[in-house]
Structure formats: C-alpha cells, structure tokens
Structure 1
C-alpha cells in the first residue's frame, strides 16, 4: 500500500515537471549561478582557501610553518685552561704596549651592506630570541686577506651568497674590523653551538650568526688548498688575535670556553678551519692579559 502511494506521488511530480519544464530548468540554472557567485565572493574575501595545483603537485597557499627542531647538542671542551699563575710578564708588557698603539695596526674597513645585517630579536617564526654575542667562532681565509676583503666588498643580493667576518687578522699582524660586533656577520652557514642555532630566514637552515662573533686569520700561502694542515700562523697574528679576543671577552663578559672553531660549529661536515691552529700560543697570551684567571 505504501508502495502504491509512493508510485502515485512520483507520477504526479513527473507530470508537474513535464507541464512546467521551462520554469524548472530556469530555476535550477539560477540556483547554480547563485551558488557559484556565493563561492566566488567568499573566496575573494578570504573565507575560502582554494587548493592550488602547481607543476603537478598539490600545495596549500599557506604552507606549514612548523619550526625545525634544533640539532642535538655537540659538547665543546675548550683547549683553553684556567690560569692565574705562571704568567709571562715580558709577554704581558709587550702585548700592553702593542694594545696602546692599536691605531697603527688596526683599522675599520667598510664592506658592502649586503654582506652583513642587524641581529634579530625574533626568529623567522616570530619567537623571541637572544641576540647577545655569546660565542666566538675562529676561521681562516684560505686565500689572502686582500682576496677575502674583495669578496666582502662585492655585493651579494642573494642571502645564500652573503659572507663576512667581524674581524680579519693578517699575517703581518694587521687587523681589519669589517662588521660592528653589535651587528650580524655571515660567517657560518648551517651551524650550531651547544645545540643552539637561530633561524632568521625560513628558506635557509639555522646558524649561529645571530649570536656569534666571527674572526678570521689570514691563511699562509702554503694553505691555499684543501689540505688538512699548513705551516700555521705567525707570532704577530697570535698577538693581534689575543688582543681582539681580550677586548670581546671584556666587552661581552664572555667566558674563554666560548671561543670555538668553524670546524666545531659546522653541521654540514664541510669545514675544517682554522687548520693548524695552536691553542697553546693563544693560551699564553690570554693568560698574560689576565683573561684566563676566571672561575
């Protein structure tokens, strides 16, 4: 009985549609148009986010903004030891005299502004970060100091090409300050120190640049290659290096253990500088300056 009623109802609806076919078609078209206009308006107002297909792969207009996890902490055991006695007084006197005449061997050189920047107080994900300089990374130029300087004076608009150090120390003991210590130099790429990095550009990997000070020693001619060592650095370089580091230690209240190498902070396994570095020579000089007598 229910089936008979349903049959009679469907027959009646069909007859009605047949009698008013043009009206039904017009109504359906109007409904579809209204639905389409509603969707277009909502999309235009940002209430609907369309999925875009690009080069055969589906992507969202707003890609994931999840923060990459920092690397596991790699321990750093500083070669510099605490020293309050056994100081070379003649060395102390010589370094103090050298420091007093710094205007004769130290100068500021302006490099291209694309090769350095301001330190960020927020990372690329909007999180507050500490931009205080708290680690010193030692490097070497591989080629001459003039070659390195030419690179830093050349504009590099692309972020991935930008490079600089805060300070260069030549074989003859000359010191060139290139970037203000309060600003950010681009001395290390993919890097971290004690498990810490800062991501200031979502397109690039994290690095120590935002909280690091970078100093590079001019490489001797024997080191203009990819060998694991060379003849080493000059006595004048170690003198100048110690004086620059002493100034940074006191200005930023840095512990000597915060002085590390590019080789240590590099996460890509591609850097080995500064090669043939003699920590004992830095030890005697910083001790003479009184920077290693700390608890």
Structure 2
C-alpha cells in the first residue's frame, strides 16, 4: 500500500529507514549523546547522509525514570522539530510521543508522523493526527502504563493480541479521520512483552503484514536481542540485524533504527531475496 506520511508519499515497494534521535539525557542506548540540541542536529545530518527517509525525535525515554511533564517534553522536541523542518524540507519527521498536546505542538512545528509507542494511552492522539493530516504509528503494548516495564504478562497468543489491538487502534484512527494510507501498525517488540513474546512476534511477523496495514518494527538493540545472545547494550548489532532480516523477509515496511547504513543493506538484501526488489545491478554471467 502506498504510504502517505504527512506531505511525503512512498510507493508500495519502498522500505523506509526511521532513524532514532533522542532528545533525552538518559537514553538506554546513547546515554545522552544527543541531549544537547547541536549534537542532536549533527545526528540528523548524519542519518540523512546515510539515507534515512524518516527521523524519529523523542523527548522521553521509554524506560522508568524521572517524571517528565508535558511542558518539559514540548520544550525538548518542538523547537527542535521546527529547526529540522527548516533545514530538511523533504525529510519525514516523526515524533515519539503518546501525549496529544505534545503531538499537536509538534505537528504545528512541522512534524509529519506521530509515533505512539504506548498504544493509545491518550485517546485524543488520533484526533490530533486527523486534524493535521499526520501519519500515525499504532503499537501493541498489552495495555501497560507508559514508561513501565512488563512483569509476568501472559497472552493466550501474543501475535493474535498484537494484531487485534493494532488493527483496532488503526480502525479507531480511521474513524477519527486519519487517512488509511497514513496509518502504520507496530508489534512493539519488548513493550508489554517478555523475550519469548518478542521472539514469537518476530517469527510470525508475516501474520501482521497479512492484515494489509503497513508494518513498522523497532528492533534496534532491544532487550530480547540482548537476552537471546547474552549481550549488553552496545554489542547487539549483529543480533539486531539478524532479527531485521527475518522481519524484512516477512515484509515489514519501516525500520526504526540506530544504525541506518547497516540496516539498509540487510533490508535491501532480504527484500531482493523475497523477490520484491531487483538487484542494484546484475551483470554476472551476462557480460
């Protein structure tokens, strides 16, 4: 399905790199490396040069920590969104927030997509996306409270739950006025899930793709990778790329990543093996 993300359209055979830009001092991965605005802007320039079609700007880390109110979250992301929009008019800007008020301010500043990592915790976020013609990422979290870790969550079938919840969220967004071509679903690896759940979602991702909604995966350096391989954050790239290849073979469209160039190569290779993308060149045995 053709994707319309704000003012930007992508053909149905396009895969997209969504580069993570953390406006936080306490990110689990970069430990605040892009907390300073100029450092965050350098990160944007780098990922754009590497071919990222989307940047995902977040002002609050997902894990538990210091409470960040709406005013502080706006301060961290809104002016930065405006700066990125002014410099990169053709770049898709996503904002990682579950709060409608922050989403509205970000869209006013030029954001194209609202990435709701907490599965509709603020029911008014769909109305904001509809009002601004923004894209919306609909995630599955099993109903957990934002910024809490899962504890002994059980599912009869985690993939069935992910499909039911994200498709219901997508349908609610559609009813609110969000364009069908602007809605994406995300199983949300690790969110409301233990490692076995995330592995099963990865293994059966094709079932989510078969719903007809474009699928986003956020795999980069996640705990399910670390626990599977017994590796700390910072040593999970190969495991992340292995999981990425599985999701790409299944047909995921958007990849939320820390490492843009490496992920692009893996996704292109997997999509070519699947027959969805031609080789960049094919002269062996022909010349």
- The TM-score with structure 1 as length reference comes to 0.27
- The TM-score with structure 2 as length reference comes to 0.27
Larger Rg: 1
